[in-house]
Homo-oligomer: A and B are copies of this chain.
Amino acid sequence: MIEDKELMVEMLRRMLCIRYFDEQAVELVQRGELVGAVHAYIGEEAVAVGACLALRDNDYMTGNHRSHGHPIAKGGDVRRAMAELLGKSTGYCKGKGGSMHLADFSIGILGESGILASALPVAVGAALATKIRGEKRVVAAFFGDGASNEGTCHETMNLAAIWKLPVIFVCENNQYAVTTRFTEVVATPNICDRAAAYNIPGVLVDGQDVVAMYEAVSEAVERARLGLGPSLIEGRTYRYQDHSEGLRRIVRDPYRAEEEIAYWRTRDPILLQRNRLMEMKMASEAEIALMEAAERARIAEALQFARQSPYPAPEEVFDDLFSNPIPIDRS
């Protein structure tokens, strides 16, 4: 158990920030103000927050389509994130990426990939670069239980293992890929069991417990910094929302029981950390209420910023295709 009160409180704060951000995003979708796909991270906050707080600011991170939690956990700016969701020019990607593709290279957020497992080689490449340069940075690579079945997982875990690259593979096992339960498509009881195939540590963690995630990832980070290579951490967690917002309209098959969702709500990561802080006398109910209000205000302010921001101008459509632009047919 962690003694560092500031850290323990920060864990709750970041989780709240993600929760409110995503609640806001869901609401914006429902109101039709946010177009495109949104994959809410609600219920899974402890995984990204525990993992990212175990990183240094100049460490790297890659993520996936369920994409708001990772960058916020890594210290990203909710204003620029929200502006991106609304497709505004002040967004992280000037509106070109949208919800599934947040990134902030200035603080090591190397981007969220909409194609599954597709960012894992990118993570491994960043780790390779740190090794070539003799730096001590590490890379956290987030991916889902579904994505764990992509061939790229095998290639990258093996590559990181043989070259002893500083990668923490963080599998967010929320137990479903859209409607498919992981037990039907993964041959081992746990995804972390696959670490055996790469001779690397594989650890199953309670993904609802932000402290447990922090501790497991910290240990992996330490190994990585010592040059001992990658680890695979599986955070067992749960999503409360649909796979993506609005999907229930299409998928009629009830693939999971209401009781299951209800059970996991009793293990809400924010609730658990909230209670723990109070039990440990690290924060009072009033202090937490203040923090909640502050985080809500932060999101409200971010939304206001995003709304007031301009859309990109039509002439920007070809910008950023290349870093060294070339003449191409623009007609």
Contacts and interface: CB of A to CB of B under 8 A. Distances in A.
Nearest to A156: B151
Contact of A187 (B187, B193, B199): B199
**Residue with the greatest number of chain B CB neighbours at <10 A, chosen from A152, A154, A200:** A154
Interface string A192-233: 011011111000000000000000000000000000000000
Contact of A155 (B149, B158, B184, B193): B149
Given A154-B154, A155-B149, A158-B149, A197 B194 contact: yes
Q: Is the interface of A mostly helix, strand, loop or mixed?
A: helix
A293 interface: no
A124 interface: no
Interface residues of A, number: 22
A149 B154 CA distance: 8
Nearest to A161: B187
A185 interface: yes
A184 B159 CA distance: 10
B162 A151 contact: no
B188 A162 contact: no
B151 A155 contact: yes
Interface of A: 149-155, 158, 161-162, 184-188, 193-194, 196-200
24 contacts: A149-B158, A150-B151, A151-B151, A151-B152, A151-B155, A153-B154, A154-B154, A154-B155, A158-B185, A158-B186, A161-B187, A162-B185, A162-B186, A162-B187, A187-B197, A187-B199, A187-B200, A188-B196, A188-B197, A188-B198, A193-B196, A193-B197, A196-B196, A196-B197
